[in-house]
Amino acid sequence: MKLTGITPILNVSDVVASLAWFERLGWNRAFTWNDGGMIPKAGDRNEHGPAQFAGIGAGECEIFLCEGAQGSRGNPHPQHPRDEQTGGVWMSWWLRESKDVDAVHALAVQQGVTISWPPTDEPWGVRECGIIHPDGHTFRVSAPLSCS
């Protein structure tokens, strides 16, 4: 078997709000969909209502957003850094250089995004920080230390 890609699907409470959250962090919307089908120009809504499914991308990576289905949501308020009890999906966003982790962290702080832990040089050879989606999904923003 040879995969050509993998796209995680996040269960979100509001697709339009989730698109805006990702866009504040530099991601770009790829498409939006509702009961009427594809929404022109990846809009938030059309005559059939708001988007209920969407694709959001950064570089060559994409995440699908599904309103109220396909997985579970978590708690957007971790009790401590790397709180395993938040539920939701955990995934790593890989960047090329460790300085990019600091830039994403600074942007997240500027945009009022919940930070789980600040940029940290980890013993496993990466610099990473944690950010939390409003539906409790945890993103480890990571880059190899050797590229700094």
Instruction: Convert the pLDDT of each residue in 132-145 to its tens digit.
Output: 999 999 999 999 99
CATH code where residue 117 lies: 3.10.180.10
Domain that holds residue 50: 9-67
What pLDDT is recorded for position 53? Answer: 98
* Same domain? 63 vs 107: no
Asked if 45 and 95 sit in the same domain, the reply is no
Q: How many domains does the chain have?
A: 2
pTM of the full predicted structure?
A: 0.90
Q: Which of 59, 64, 60, 42 lies closest to 51, judged by CA?
A: 42
Q: What distances in angstroms separate CA 91 from CA 7, 94, 110, one per listed residue?
A: 11, 10, 22
Residue 69 CB burial class (10 angstroms; 0-12, 13-18, ≥19): exposed
Structure tokens that stand for 84 in this block: 């395993």
pLDDT recorded at residue 73: 85
What's the rounded Cα separation, in Å, for the pair 80 and 100? Answer: 24
pLDDT digit string (tens) for the chain, length 148 residues: 998 999 999 999 999 999 999 999 999 999 999 999 999 999 999 999 999 999 999 999 999 999 999 888 877 777 767 766 667 889 999 999 999 999 999 999 999 999 999 999 999 999 999 999 999 999 999 999 975 4
Q: Tokens 């498409």 label which residue?
A: 31
Which contiguous run of DSSP H or E holds residue 27?
Answer: none
Domain contains 1: no
Residue 97 forms part of a structural domain: yes
> Which residue is listed with tokens 């850094």?
81
Contact call for residues 117 and 129 (beta carbons, < 8 A) = yes
Q: Are 105 and 54 within one domain? A: no
State the CATH number of the domain containing residue 47.
3.30.1900
Residue 32, domain member (yes or no):
yes
Residue 119 lies in a domain: yes
